């Protein structure tokens, strides 16, 4: 017991001397101006990509169904009619979570981009492609991810990749074992900024 008490102060000293690595919070989104009378450039892209932002979730599911996710365990709504971006690994998709109200339009879409085994390069090339339509976005580190994003009103496009050198070596992901490209892929996430109008009871 005496030896234990000798050991405890040393352990506390070591804990006090441990420094926590400061992770940057990442770059701010590029905020696009929306001049009066002009369409939202992000929403225009969503429409050009033929993402079904105005149909109800139930109608989309009736048309395309719910499918097993091609990479991760679980189900998803695959959208093969949508325009594939350069380097895409699979069709655009939307969450198939049963708790989402089916009577409202889908407001979030995502896809995965991979050109080669370089998380930085995959995100940078995707950002360069989108910059042709939205202007350049700053690319930077947020915690253990590389990110870039654009916003206009409530609509937003986010890019994110997970450079392997920034990840803990103790974490295992079985999806990466099945599809190694996922380790360095760039995820493109689109939020349309849908705002559901209040019903008559809520307006009163």
Kindly list the averaged pLDDT for each block of 10 residues, start to end, along the chain of length 204. Answer: 40 39 76 91 98 97 97 96 98 95 97 98 98 97 96 98 90 88 98 74 52
d(CA 70, CA 133): 29
Strands in 102-181 per DSSP E = 108-113, 140-142, 145-152, 155-161
Q: Is residue 98 domain-resident? A: yes
Q: Is residue 136 domain-resident? A: yes
Report the pLDDT value the prediction gives residue 35, as an integer from 0 to 100. 82
Domain that holds residue 152: 22-194
Q: Is residue 202 domain-resident? A: no
Q: Is residue 190 domain-resident? A: yes
d(CA 20, CA 18): 7
Report the pLDDT value the prediction gives residue 172, as an integer from 0 to 100. 78
**Residue 186 burial (C-beta neighbours within 10 Å; 0-12, 13-18, 19+):** buried
Report the pLDDT value the prediction gives residue 8, as an integer from 0 to 100. 39
Report the pLDDT value the prediction gives residue 193, as an integer from 0 to 100. 95
Q: Is residue 204 domain-resident? A: no
Q: Is residue 86 domain-resident? A: yes
Q: Is residue 176 domain-resident? A: yes
Report the pLDDT value the prediction gives residue 199, as an integer from 0 to 100. 57
What's the alpha-carbon Rg for the chain, to the nearest Å? 22
Sign of CA dihedral 188, 145, 118, 134: positive
User: What SS3 state is found at 190?
Assistant: strand
Q: Is residue 201 domain-resident? A: no
* Residue of 46, 195, 192 lying closest to 108 (CA atoms): 192
Q: How many domains does the chain have?
A: 1
Report the pLDDT value the prediction gives residue 62, as an integer from 0 to 100. 98
């Amino acid at each position: 017991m005496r030896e234990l008490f000798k050991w405890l102060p040393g352990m506390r000293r070591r804990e006090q001397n441990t420094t926590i690595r400061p992770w940057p919070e990442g770059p701010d989104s590029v905020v696009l101006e929306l001049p009066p009378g002009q369409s939202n450039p992000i929403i225009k892209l969503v429409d050009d990509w033929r993402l079904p932002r105005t149909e109800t979730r139930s109608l989309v599911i009736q048309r395309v169904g719910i499918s097993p996710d091609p990479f991760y365990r679980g189900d998803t709504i695959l959208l093969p009619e949508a325009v594939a971006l350069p380097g895409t690994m699979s069709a655009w998709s939307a969450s198939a979570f049963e708790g989402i109200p089916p009577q409202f339009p889908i407001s979030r879409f995502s896809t995965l981009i991979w050109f080669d085994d370089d998380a930085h390069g995959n995100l940078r090339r995707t950002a360069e492609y989108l910059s042709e339509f939205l202007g350049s976005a700053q690319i930077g580190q947020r915690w253990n991810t590389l990110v870039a994003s654009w916003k206009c009103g409530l609509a937003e496009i986010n890019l994110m990749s997970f450079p392997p050198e920034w990840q803990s070596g103790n974490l295992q992901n079985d999806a990466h074992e099945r599809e190694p490209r996922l380790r360095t892929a760039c995820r493109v996430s689109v939020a349309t900024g849908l705002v559901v109008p209040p019903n008559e009871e809520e307006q009163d």
